[in-house]
Amino acid sequence: MKFLKKNLDKIKDECGIFGIYNQKEAVSLTVLGLHSLQHRGQESAGIVSFKNNALYHHKGAGLVNDVFKGISIEGNIAIGHVRYSTTGDQRYENIQPLIANTSLGKISIAHNGNITNSKILKKELANHDQIFQSTTDTEFILSLLSLNNKDTIEQRFVDFSSKLEGAYSLLIIKNNKLIGVRDPYGFRPLVIGKYNKSFIITSETCALDIIGAKYVRDIEPGEIVSISEKGIESRKINSKNKQEKFCVFEFIYFMRPNSIFQNKSVSNIREKIGSELAKENGVEADVVIPVPDSGIHAAIGYSETSKIPFKQGIIRSHYMGRTFIEPKINIRNLNVNMKLSINKFYIKNKKIILIDDSIVRGTNMKKIVGMLKDGGAKEIHVRIASPPFISPCYYGIDTPTKQELVASKKSLKYLTKYFNCDTLKYISIEGLYKAFYNGQILKGEKHYCDSCFTEKYFFSKHTNNLRNKNH
């Protein structure tokens, strides 16, 4: 079976996860939750449910609505997963949640992130006669849980967590219990919600909104949350790390605009970034136009600060179907034209400020600028709501190699000419963090991972090995 073709000019988060405890409609609500997390993974989806001391599962390649159409599995506890492939390929065995037999019984696990020392772990586990059915690093976590001899899942995780390096937000079903785990750095989001008498753990608050659940709190970095008949119990992973390093790109691009994390509105942060972008890189123009949908909120902020009118000069088709079949090359090259079209009324003879969240390979930006030129634009000034994307991420994001990242090797002058725009400007790192800290210049240690912009990585030994292979 062929899987969905990725957009080669947008980076992808690896996945989204949703779990619910003590709910007779657990599976149906999990399907809805995954639907709201579809932006985090569109290659595959899966659900595992628990009822009467047994686990039931359903998974498949494709979008949530297709995978779970007409399913009828029961359970009062369920975890679900939507996926892009970063670690591991697109085979069926890699579709999560995964299930394994352990000395504590059957358990199921869903994972958002990337274990940077997975190859080291695989060698160690192979020495303990562990056999792997998939190529995803999630299975290594299952193996570590199964080999450990502590009395509970929580104790086992605390015991072996020092072996794990990288990013992981996890959901686990063990008997009549739902467990959520977030790595000590807190790279990926994980929140707790409540739906009547049921508790939910999920990647984003937008998954709570879709079912009418209430947001309770974020799960803290290095926290293990257990939900059972006893209620909610919490403990911490033993870690020397005391510094949160949440992925800054979650706020810039990945998370849904209506999500809230760290008591921050995602849409509000993006508008503030656009505002700082206007302060840093203002230019005389007639209209501010976003690349839909990624540039909309930054463009609103830019427009409000610059006093230049916001217009939807580019229209995105929301009805373009996805296919498992690769089209012929001449058709594939028309993809941008199929997804986006120009509103010439706002374009012709206008000086345009074009806003987007980021530039990865640059192919889409080049095509969009070309479309605006063909539409009669007088000037095009590209403004990007993130610093230059210069290095791959190894903490749960699907990114190209460094050579493929157009900003990593090329100067601003070259890129301006390459895109055929009049000017090109990115927000600075300082301006980016002003948006996070209410316009104040950040002093001291920042609580975010920005390695894709700065090349300052964590877990240096194993990450450097990965970097050497991707340079």
- Catalytic (active-site) positions: 15
Residue 34 three-state SS: helix
Strand (E) or helix (H) holding 158: helix 153-160
* Cβ-based neighbours of 123, under 8 Å, separated by 6 or more: none
> In 10 A of CB 414, how many CB atoms?
13
Q: Return the structure tokens found at 213.
A: 């659940």
Cis amide leading into 422 (omega within 30): no
CA 453 to chain centre: 17
Using only the alpha carbons of the chain, give its radius of gyration: 23
- For residues 238 and 184, the answer to whether their CB atoms sit within 8 Å is no
CA 133 to chain centre: 25
User: What is the bridge-based pairing of β-strands 314-316 and 340-342?
Assistant: antiparallel
β-strand partners of 56: 49
- For residues 355 and 291, the answer to whether their CB atoms sit within 8 Å is yes
- The CA distance from 421 to 380, in Å, is 5
Output the CA angle 17-292-249, nearest 5 degrees: 45
